[in-house]
Chains A and B, each alone.
Chain A
């Protein structure tokens, strides 16, 4: 049983085999497997958002010489549970002059796009809910459906602050998506696949952040900046801009509809960090140095899932660190930065990566 923690691909295979025997057909087994996956993922999403919100508040507190939540439970660990119960119990209002159908649809759109992205993330060997040979491309595609929800929500609220926030958010996400995609694209030629599991397997000898000379690091930096902007987080939080727009596109939302936006925001942080960890930091692959077998064995003791979540946690912390350090950019500065600096830089990066790949200029090849 113990080996299942390390060989999750074997666990999935055995489970599929057992389900096929029990249900009698491969299709039924697949249906049951997907149902289990959906249930587990839903629980995971709720838990993840609660933990991330708690951590965010604690990190924010300590970075500003405060302590964060302290009252509910020891060191406030039950604070987000209490908040969730409050949000669920509240009345879900729809403003009188709002377009009720679109207004209620918008949070679902945002949440669904984030939720769908999670099913492509490789948590552990073989543990991807949907194995897809163009997973990376697909995830980038679905992620941009979220902006539709934000725009729809802002528009349907019939509130000028909401529309302003939604417009800013749309402009920002559409702009920064280019840089994020180009930064990931620069690394794709090195491993020559878009399947997440194969991307991880290609990093057995070393992570792409240093295996791709210079290009990896630059790509990682560009992706970190652009993905922070895509998540609408400080220093790119002009879409919410609490001090300017009283919350931006979600000004009119309350109760569960607001919770959906909030949940999606935190899942998005997890997703961009997971993509970053998978592409640049080897996903669930343990840290290995060729030649040092003893050290490699020690690192192998940790199950892959721990490696994956450890890497993601570090990257999430970096994003939170940005939020509580940097001041907000103005709209014109934001556009200026993306179109004049970040995008040309990522195009140059892509060109350099192409040269490096065709010349075979990367480590451990």
Chain B
């Protein structure tokens, strides 16, 4: 008798599978494929899609949540974050001076976002990131801060060190002195080069 029960159960399983696939077949509205370049304006990205990272701003104060602790820098397997910080004289707390994101090295793994304890980083779903040269992919993420506008001439590993000193942006210097004049420290990424 067992074999009949088993056969019936198997048949039921097969038929329910066929019912499911026919259901999908009969209702083209259930299709989840997106015709990407054509529907670019109405593109629906899944909630958990992740692309390049971005800094989160506090809605009330208009400041970035980042306190420049450097956890993301340490978490990044590819050294794609460079971070310099300074102490804000008003709040007596550290803030990022320059949060440099090297997207050309980023894996979009999300480890930095996981490492962040201050809800300051997030993965955006901005996936159209093609550029003409690797340099175009380097970006300063806290660019709304007046001292860190989009000047990439002094970004560490893209330019030679001596050039870095010479062409330190005047805007950056004045801005920083206005705001702080306080101590400044660069958080070095971990050395992960093979030994």
Tell me if A309 counts as interface (CB < 8 A to partner B): no
CB pair A63–B17 under 8 Å, yes or no, is no
- Nearest-CB residue, chain A, relative to B3: A341
A82 to B25, alpha carbons, bound, how many Å? 25
Residues of chain A within 8 A (CB-CB) of B24 are: 62-65
B32 touches A65 (CB 8 A): yes
- Category for how many chain B residues contact A: 10 to 19
Shortest A68–chain B CB gap in Å is 9
A59 within 8 A of B: yes
- Residues 10-45 of B at the A interface (beta carbon under 8 Å): 14, 17-18, 20-22, 24-25, 28, 30-33, 35
Q: Mark A56-91, 1 if CB is under 8 A from B, else 0.
A: 000101111111001000000000000000000000
List B contacts of A65 (CB < 8 A): 24, 30-33
Residues of A within 8 A of B31 (CB): 62, 65-67
Question: Is B33 in contact with A325, judged by CB distance below 8 angstroms?
Answer: no
> CB-defined interface of A133-165 with B at 8 Å, one 1/0 digit per residue?
000000000000000000000000000000000
The answer to whether A63 touches B35, judged by C-beta atoms less than 8 angstroms apart, is no
Q: Which residues on B sit within 8 Å (CB–CB) of A326?
A: 14, 17
Q: Which residue of chain A has the shortest Cβ distance to B13 in the bound complex?
A: A326
Query: Is A325 a contact of B21 with CB atoms below 8 Å?
Result: yes
Q: Does A362 contact B (CB under 8 A)?
A: no
Query: Could you tell me which residues of chain A, from 306 to 323, have a CB within 8 Å of some CB in chain B?
Result: 321-322
Which residues does chain B contribute within 8 Å of A66, judged by CB atoms? 31-33
Contacts between the two chains (Cβ within 8 Å), count? 37
Partner of B25, one of A62, A70, A322: A62
Among A62, A321, A322, point to the contact of B28 (Cβ < 8 A).
A62
Category for how many chain A residues contact B: 10 to 19
B101 to chain A, nearest CB (A): 34
Compute how far the CA of A62 lies from the CA of B20 in the bound complex, rounded to whole angstroms. Answer: 11
A258 proximal to B (CB < 8 A) = no
Does A191 count as interface, using CB distance less than 8 angstroms? no
Contact check, B17 vs A325: say whether CB atoms are below 8 A apart: yes
Q: Which residues of A contact B21 (CB under 8 A)?
A: 63-64, 321, 324-325
> Which residues in B have their C-beta under 8 angstroms from that of A67?
31, 33, 35
Among B18, B32, B35, the residue within 8 A (CB) of A321 is: B18
A325 in contact with B18 (CB, 8 Å): yes
User: What separation, in Å, do the CA atoms of A6 and B25 have in the docked complex?
Assistant: 34
Q: Which residue of A has the minimal Cβ distance to B32?
A: A65
Closest chain A residue to B19, Cβ basis: A325
Residues of B within 8 A of A322 (CB): 18
Give every chain A residue within 8 A of B20 (Cβ-Cβ): 325
Q: How far is the CB of B4 from chain A (nearest CB, A)?
A: 12
> In the complex the two chains form, is A59's CB within 8 Å of B17's CB?
no
Q: Please give, as numbers and ranges, the residues of chain A lying within 8 Å of B25 by CB-CB distance.
A: 59, 62-63, 321
Closest chain A CB from B44 CB (angstroms): 14
Q: Which residues of B contact A321 (CB under 8 A)?
A: 18, 21-22, 25
- CA of A70 to CA of B37, assembled, Å: 12
CA A326 – CA B24 in complex, angstroms? Answer: 15
Q: Which residue of A lies closest to B35 (CB)?
A: A70
**How far, in angstroms, from A210 to B46 measured CA to CA in the complex?**
50
Contacts of A325 in B (CB 8 A): 14, 17-18, 20-21
Cα of A322 to Cα of B28 in the assembled complex, Å: 19
Which positions in A face B, CB cutoff 8 Å? Answer: 59, 61-67, 70, 321-322, 324-326
Q: Which 10 A-B pairs have the closest CB atoms?
A: A63-B21, A325-B21, A62-B25, A325-B17, A66-B33, A63-B25, A67-B33, A65-B32, A325-B18, A65-B24
- Apart from A65-B24, A66-B33, what 13 extra A-B contacts exist at CB < 8 Å? A62-B28, A63-B21, A63-B24, A63-B25, A66-B31, A66-B32, A70-B35, A321-B22, A321-B25, A322-B18, A325-B14, A325-B18, A326-B17
Cβ contacts A to B, 23 pairs, < 8 Å: A59-B25, A62-B28, A63-B21, A63-B22, A63-B24, A64-B21, A64-B24, A65-B24, A65-B30, A65-B31, A66-B31, A66-B32, A66-B33, A67-B31, A67-B33, A70-B35, A321-B21, A322-B18, A325-B14, A325-B17, A325-B20, A326-B14, A326-B17
